[in-house]
């Protein structure tokens, strides 16, 4: 009985100590939130979970800095390439002058310049949407990371917003002159996205036609036609270089464009497959798709495959109305002999420009 009494007393004390230990750790969870740290080891692994046995998702080197968003049991949570990552705090040192979320003396404030600007959970267009803002809304800036701003959403929450959504265009009221001539595109910004390029050849078709090559040839003609009509045109590539899908989306969104047109040529294992197709994703993009498709239907000498809704990344994540055009099959002998010609590509350029002009005017 005596031993049992001692054991019971010991377990009670041990339990109290354990609870004290747990609560003490929990109190430190948010103690260093949004504090900036510097890596003091030669290399430091970023992991998917706060554990030395979890997956490595990246690596930092000595002198790199990061911002803490949480702390658990000696691990600090940050973001890496838009995703949550964890690092061991033992290998970090606080940076002098780190930002305190509760310090309202920080006066860096930005004003939203675009309606329905998305606020996200992390500095990435792939991260979770947690809210939105409209023109004129102001937010306190807590941290900057590349083209993203961490903002105070309210007293308890923070979020991330793309910096280009807070930048005023060169002219708030572009000179969108209406002369009665439907081809006039003065003051409008159009993004042309020639698919593939560089290490990515796209489809390789009949007689070794490389999609990336004729896509660029066609896109250059489209750019020239739109510029001739007065549009400000931005191309995601103008040479045979590799451009990732994320980079294409970022280029398009940063322009505050009026329309985004991604240009491709199609391919199929079925040699008989032929014709042109128009793809869109969001409902606001459908009028643009219908206008350009109607123009292509009347202007191009290929089979009409219709308008289809698909979640292609470049058009899915565009903030402006966006479509993707497949302008013929490189794998079809009939189409291939036509689409490589300068005459056809000139027709495409005129047809796309006419469609954009009809859509805008």
Please give the positions annotated as active site: 326
DSSP string for residues in 291-331: HHHHHHHHH-SS-EEEEEE---HHHHS-SS-EEEEEEEETT
Beta bridge partners of 150: 143, 160
CA distance 310 to 277: 12
Q: State how far the Cα of 166 lies from the Cα of 110, in Å rounded to an integer.
A: 6
CA torsion, points 144, 148, 149, 153, in degrees to nearest 10? -150
In the numeric block, which tokens belong to residue 258? 């009026």
CA geometry: angle at 223 spanning 350 and 250, to 5°? Answer: 130
Q: Return the closest-CA partner of residue 188 out of 359, 1, 20, 10.
A: 359
Residue in this structure with the two tokens 């291939």, named with its chain if needed: 336
């Amino acid at each position: 009985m005596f031993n049992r009494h001692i054991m019971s007393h010991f377990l009670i004390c041990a339990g109290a100590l354990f609870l004290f230990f747990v609560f003490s750790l929990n109190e430190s969870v948010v103690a260093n939130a949004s504090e900036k740290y510097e890596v003091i080891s030669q290399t430091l692994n970023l992991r998917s979970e706060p554990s030395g046995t979890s997956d490595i998702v990246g690596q930092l080197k000595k002198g790199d800095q990061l911002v803490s968003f949480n702390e658990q049991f000696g691990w600090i949570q940050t973001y890496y390439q838009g995703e949550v990552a964890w690092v061991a705090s033992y290998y970090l040192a606080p940076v002098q002058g780190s930002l305190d979320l509760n310090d309202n003396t920080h006066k860096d404030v930005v004003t939203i310049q675009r309606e329905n600007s998305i606020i996200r959970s992390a500095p990435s267009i792939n991260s979770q949407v947690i809210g939105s803002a409209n023109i004129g809304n102001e937010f306190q800036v807590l941290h900057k990371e590349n083209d993203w701003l961490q903002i105070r959403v309210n007293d308890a929450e923070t979020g991330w917003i793309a910096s280009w959504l807070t930048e005023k265009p060169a002219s708030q009221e572009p000179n969108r002159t209406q002369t009665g001539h439907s081809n006039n595109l003065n003051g409008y910004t159009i993004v042309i996205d020639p698919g593939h390029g560089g290490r990515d050849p796209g489809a390789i078709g009949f007689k070794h036609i490389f999609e990336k090559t004729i896509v660029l040839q066609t896109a250059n003609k489209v750019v020239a036609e739109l510029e001739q009509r007065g549009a400000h045109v931005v191309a995601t590539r103008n040479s045979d270089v590799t451009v990732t899908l994320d980079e294409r989306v970022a280029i398009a969104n940063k322009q505050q464009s009026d329309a985004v047109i991604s240009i491709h040529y199609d391919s199929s294992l079925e040699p008989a497959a032929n014709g042109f197709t128009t793809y869109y994703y969001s409902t606001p993009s459908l009028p643009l798709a219908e206008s350009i498709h109607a123009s292509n239907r009347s202007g191009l000498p290929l089979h009409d495959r219709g308008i289809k809704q698909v979640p292609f990344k470049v058009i899915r994540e565009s903030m402006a109305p966006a479509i993707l055009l497949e302008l013929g099959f490189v794998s079809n002998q009939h189409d291939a002999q036509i689409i490589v010609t300068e005459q056809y590509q000139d027709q495409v350029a005129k047809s796309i420009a006419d469609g954009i002009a009809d859509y805008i005017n």
